């Protein structure tokens, strides 16, 4: 009884206090708020009315809900007094005062009615209105609720009462638990409340669903029919850019969207069980959920490729995805002011979450400990990322299909990569396959998150290939007696003095290496080229991200670079300082930001941390000697390529893979390999020129080896002194003069 009576009592007190304030002097109101002493209205103050309303407010405060009879008599007198004061003082001319008087009388009448309610009536109402049974049948009414909301969005306000009544269904399961003073009261309450909130979200999801249906028509109009106004427009061309009917339809659709949003936001903050529902947060979550569904479907259905189609479908599919995503983003940006949300922030967060989740699921194939769906930090129960069934046997989702399609059309066995133009060509027809515009299109269609996710997946693939090479070298290659003897012979050959080397010894060394190559060597060479191919793609991705960051956020890029240089300087001074858990987190976070900004060098990365296999530098040298005969120097591209298309090799991917493999071990491994290769070149050249039947022609094998050294130095950013320390300058000058 006390609870029912108190609410109108507080409301009428508030209204009377407002009436009292309306009768204050304007100069006093201004002083109360600290705005100076300028009058805000021209109404003359009435001190007698002010005193009368203050007395009436004190009388309402003195009402005792326990003394029902005396309180009711006083309440009736107050209602009559309010009627008389309105007529006697002619307050009908002031609309605000009149409205407050009407509200005060209404709440006083409500107090009279509720004060007469008996306790047994309240118990009867509670029994009649018990909705415990509704847990089983309420879902059958969901479609009718949603249909009503579609017809009239303001129906959401009435649904608020339904949801509050559903919350009373929690009383029965919790009654006995509460009486038993069980510690399970809070978790059980949390469970039932969360279930009820999930149902509320399900019912109200029709609003964001309807928003996106309307927005799809806006996307179509803005993308295909309405043209953007140019910066300068002639007067006679104004009619051709008007599109009055289309703009009118966009206005109608926008108004419908605002009506849906208004209906949602009119539902005040509601306590469902022990969980408080904020309608604005509920609307934002619904919009995020529908946005995630739309974007995930567009990427899943748009990035499907047929490997048998020539030329590749990659570019047309990316252009189609760009049009879809751009239209969705523009329309989302257009309606953000009408639905009271931060459109750009929501767009970036959800697209990044979709891509990161799919990259994580795709990378599970390369991980020992899989990240399950419910363990993913990118998955959410409220706004779940859809998971679609795989379309092919190799990829789990769209990011895997996109990555493998790029790798397929840039296969180093079928293409030639030209570093100066960052372009892939067909090794037979010499037609252009991929140019730098592809990576710009990737950035536009999938965003920064998409192209960065592609880079992360390539890193996992590189780790897989490196592990494969290391396993082949340790378990198979070095266990073969002939191969082991060959490595020792190469080591003995390089340990001799230059004057002791003869042509016969050089031929005797090269002949078995070139003719008796083991079966595992082509597999290792192919893996090296795959690694180099992925490194070249990662290098192009880093270039595109860096260029975009420099254009759009130059200050941010400068801040990252400065912070990175400062951290590197600190690491050189005290390397062990950042091995601690707290400090290593800083390095990890900064690395993530640098990768998203493209401030990274793929050729300097350490992908695997493993022990040094025996003779690793010598093994790489023998691999180079073995593959030497398959390469030929091509002047137009200033690099190595396959001597014959059937050889299935390409120079730059091979060198990039070799550099990546060497950098996974000791820090001086690259320098040791270069020194071995330089000594081998110098010994071979000296042996040839010191023989009786010497030739003035530059040896082809040595020419290819020098080209490999030059590309290795260029990709790795190494000083040229690594070469000139072992090979005289006149030899390098002669090499350059041959390919000018």
Angstrom distance (rounded) from CA 444 to CA 209? 26
Considering the domain boundaries, does residue 430 fall inside one? no
Average pLDDT for residues 329-345, to the nearest whole number? 83
**Cis peptide leading into residue 311 (ω within 30°):** yes
pLDDT score, position 226: 79
Angstrom distance (rounded) from CA 677 to CA 719? 16
Q: Which of 93-97, 138-142, 295-299, 514-518 has the highest average model confidence (pLDDT)?
A: 295-299
Last residue within a domain, chosen from 375, 390, 411: 375
Angstrom distance (rounded) from CA 599 to CA 602? 10
Tokens of 510: 């090269």
Contact, 260 vs 153, CB < 8 A?
yes
Contact, 115 vs 67, CB < 8 A?
no
Angstrom distance (rounded) from CA 78 to CA 69? 14
Contact, 463 vs 338, CB < 8 A?
no
| Lowest-confidence segment of 82-96, 210-224, 359-373, 464-478 by average pLDDT | 82-96
Residues 66 and 171 in one domain: no
Average pLDDT for residues 196-218, to the nearest whole number? 84
Average pLDDT for residues 665-671, to the nearest whole number? 80
pLDDT digits (tens, 9 = 90+) for 442-451: 999 999 999 9
Contact, 216 vs 256, CB < 8 A?
no
Candidates 278, 287, 257, 288; CA nearest to 153 is 257
Considering the domain boundaries, does residue 398 fall inside one? no
Measured CA distances, 670 to 604, 616, 660 (Å): 11, 11, 9
Residues 68 and 171 in one domain: no
Number of helices (H) and strands (E) in the chain: give both, helices first. 29, 7
The mean pLDDT of the chain is: 80
Tokens of 33: 């708020």
Return the higher-pLDDT residue of 23 and 267.
267
HSE of 592, CA atoms in CB hemisphere, 13 A: 7
**pLDDT-based confidence at 3, cuts 50/70/90?**
very low
Considering the domain boundaries, does residue 394 fall inside one? no
pLDDT score, position 396: 92
Residues 462 and 568 in one domain: yes
Helical axes 244-265 vs 279-302, angle rounded to 10°: 130
Burial (CB < 10 A; 0-12, 13-18, 19+), residue 25, is middle
Considering the domain boundaries, does residue 160 fall inside one? yes
Strand partners for 432: 425
Other CB atoms within 10 Å distance of the CB of residue 678: 21
pLDDT score, position 374: 85
Residue 409 has pLDDT above 90, yes or no: yes
- Total residues belonging to the chain: 740
pTM: 0.78
| Lowest-confidence segment of 109-118, 321-330, 402-411, 560-569 by average pLDDT | 109-118
**pLDDT-based confidence at 32, cuts 50/70/90?**
very low
Tokens of 615: 């003779």
Q: Hey, CA dihedral for 426, 430, 431, 435, is it positive or negative?
A: positive
pLDDT digits (tens, 9 = 90+) for 419-433: 888 999 998 888 899
Residues 82 and 150 in one domain: no
Residues 482 and 352 in one domain: no
Residues 236 and 345 in one domain: yes
Percentage of residues in the chain having pLDDT higher than 90 = 21
Residues 171 and 262 in one domain: yes
Contact, 716 vs 603, CB < 8 A?
yes
Last residue within a domain, chosen from 343, 375, 407: 375
Tokens of 229: 């106004």
Contact, 600 vs 473, CB < 8 A?
no
Return the higher-pLDDT residue of 411 and 183.
411
Angstrom distance (rounded) from CA 153 to CA 565? 56
Residues 122 and 157 in one domain: no
pLDDT score, position 578: 60
Residues 156 and 80 in one domain: no
Three-state secondary-structure class, residue 436: coil
Domain span at residue 313 reads 145-375
Considering the domain boundaries, does residue 391 fall inside one? no
pLDDT score, position 251: 86
**pLDDT-based confidence at 501, cuts 50/70/90?**
very low
pLDDT score, position 679: 83
pLDDT score, position 722: 86
Parallel, antiparallel, or unpaired for β 275-277 and 270-272?
A: antiparallel
Residues 150 and 70 in one domain: no
Three-state secondary-structure class, residue 634: strand
Strand partners for 275: 272
Considering the domain boundaries, does residue 603 fall inside one? yes
Residues 618 and 484 in one domain: yes
Considering the domain boundaries, does residue 345 fall inside one? yes
Angstrom distance (rounded) from CA 502 to CA 446? 59
pLDDT score, position 577: 66
Average pLDDT for residues 167-186, to the nearest whole number? 77
Residues 37 and 152 in one domain: no
Residue 493 has pLDDT above 70, yes or no: no
**pLDDT-based confidence at 728, cuts 50/70/90?**
confident
Average pLDDT for residues 248-276, to the nearest whole number? 78
**pLDDT-based confidence at 508, cuts 50/70/90?**
very low
Percentage of residues in the chain having pLDDT higher than 70 = 81
Measured CA distances, 260 to 157, 231, 335 (Å): 12, 34, 12
| Residue 517, Ramachandran bin (φ over 0: left; ψ between -120 and 50: alpha; else beta) | beta
Contact, 675 vs 709, CB < 8 A?
no
Three-state secondary-structure class, residue 536: helix
pLDDT digits (tens, 9 = 90+) for 573-623: 877 766 555 667 788 888 889 999 999 999 988 888 766 566 777 888 888
Candidates 440, 444, 411, 437; CA nearest to 426 is 411
Last residue within a domain, chosen from 76, 94, 128: 128
pLDDT score, position 423: 92
Considering the domain boundaries, does residue 59 fall inside one? yes
Return the higher-pLDDT residue of 378 and 739.
378
């Amino acid at each position: 009884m006390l609870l029912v009576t108190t609410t109108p009592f507080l409301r009428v007190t508030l209204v009377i206090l407002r009436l009292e304030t309306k009768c204050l002097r304007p100069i006093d109101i201004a002083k109360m708020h600290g705005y100076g002493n300028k009058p805000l209205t021209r109404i003359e103050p009435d001190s007698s009315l002010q005193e009368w309303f203050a007395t009436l407010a004190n009388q309402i405060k003195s009402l005792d809900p326990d003394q029902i009879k005396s309180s009711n008599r006083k309440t009736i007198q107050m209602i009559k007094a309010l009627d008389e004061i309105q007529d006697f003082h002619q307050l009908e001319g002031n609309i605000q005062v009149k409205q407050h008087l009407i509200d005060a009388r209404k709440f006083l009448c409500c107090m009279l009615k509720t004060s007469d309610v008996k306790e047994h009536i309240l118990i009867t109402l509670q029994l009649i209105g018990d909705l415990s049974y509704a847990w089983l049948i309420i879902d059958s009414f969901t479609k009718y609720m949603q249909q009503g909301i579609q017809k009239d969005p303001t129906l959401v306000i009435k649904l608020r009462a339904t949801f509050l009544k559903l919350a009373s269904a929690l009383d029965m399961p919790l009654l006995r638990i509460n009486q038993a003073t069980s510690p399970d009261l809070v978790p059980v309450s949390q469970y039932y409340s969360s279930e009820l909130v999930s149902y509320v979200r399900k019912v109200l999801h029709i609003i964001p669903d309807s928003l996106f249906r309307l927005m799809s028509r806006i996307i179509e109009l803005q993308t295909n029919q309405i043209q953007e106004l140019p910066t300068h427009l002639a007067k006679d061309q104004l009619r051709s850019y008007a599109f009055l009917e289309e703009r009118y339809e966009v206005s109608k659709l926008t108004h419908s969207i605002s009506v849906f949003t208004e209906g949602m936001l009119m539902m005040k903050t509601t306590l469902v069980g022990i969980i408080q529902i904020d309608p604005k947060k509920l609307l934002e979550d619904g919009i995020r959920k529908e946005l995630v569904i739309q974007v995930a479907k567009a990427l899943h259905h748009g990035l499907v490729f047929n490997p048998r189609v020539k030329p590749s479908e990659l570019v047309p599919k990316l252009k189609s995805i760009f049009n879809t995503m751009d239209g969705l983003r523009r329309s989302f940006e257009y309606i953000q002011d009408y639905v009271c949300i931060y459109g750009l922030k929501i767009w970036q967060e959800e697209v990044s979450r979709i891509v990161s989740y799919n990259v994580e699921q795709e990378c599970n194939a390369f991980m020992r400990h899989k990240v399950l769906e419910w363990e993913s930090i990118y998955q959410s129960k409220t706004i779940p990322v859809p998971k679609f069934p795989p379309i092919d046997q190799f990829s789990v989702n769209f990011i895997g299909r996109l990555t493998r399609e790029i790798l397929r059309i840039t296969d180093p066995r079928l293409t030639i990569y030209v570093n100066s133009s960052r372009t892939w060509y067909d090794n037979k027809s010499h037609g252009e396959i991929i140019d730098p515009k592809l990576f710009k299109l990737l950035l536009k269609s999938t965003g920064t998150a998409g192209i960065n996710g592609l880079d992360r997946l390539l890193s996992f693939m590189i780790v897989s290939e490196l592990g494969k090479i290391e396993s082949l070298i340790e378990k198979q290659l070095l266990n073969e007696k002939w191969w082991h003897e060959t490595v020792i012979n190469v080591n003995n050959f390089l340990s001799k003095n230059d004057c002791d080397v003869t042509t016969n010894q050089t031929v005797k060394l090269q002949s078995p290496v070139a003719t008796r190559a083991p079966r595992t060597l082509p597999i290792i060479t192919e893996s090296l080229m795959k690694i180099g191919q992925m490194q070249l793609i990662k290098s192009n991705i880093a270039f595109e991200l860096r260029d975009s960051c420099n254009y759009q956020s130059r200050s941010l890029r400068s801040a990252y670079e400065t912070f990175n240089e400062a951290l590197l300087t600190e690491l050189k001074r005290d390397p062990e300082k950042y091995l601690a858990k707290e400090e290593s987190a800083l390095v990890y976070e900064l690395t993530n930001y640098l990768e998203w900004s493209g401030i990274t060098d793929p050729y300097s990365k350490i992908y695997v941390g493993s022990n040094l296999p025996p003779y690793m530098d010598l093994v790489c040298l023998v691999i180079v000697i073995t593959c030497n005969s398959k390469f030929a120097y091509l002047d137009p591209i200033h690099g190595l390529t396959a001597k014959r298309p059937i050889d299935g090799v390409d120079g730059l991917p091979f060198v990039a893979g070799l550099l990546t493999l060497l950098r996974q071990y000791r820090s001086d491994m690259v320098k040791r390999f270069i020194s071995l290769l330089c000594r081998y070149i110098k010994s071979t050249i000296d042996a040839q020129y010191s023989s009786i039947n010497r030739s003035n022609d530059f040896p082809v094998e040595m020419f290819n080896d020098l080209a490999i050294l030059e590309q290795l130095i260029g990709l790795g950013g190494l000083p040229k002194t690594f070469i000139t320390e072992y090979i005289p300058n006149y030899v390098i000058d002669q090499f350059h003069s041959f390919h000018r």
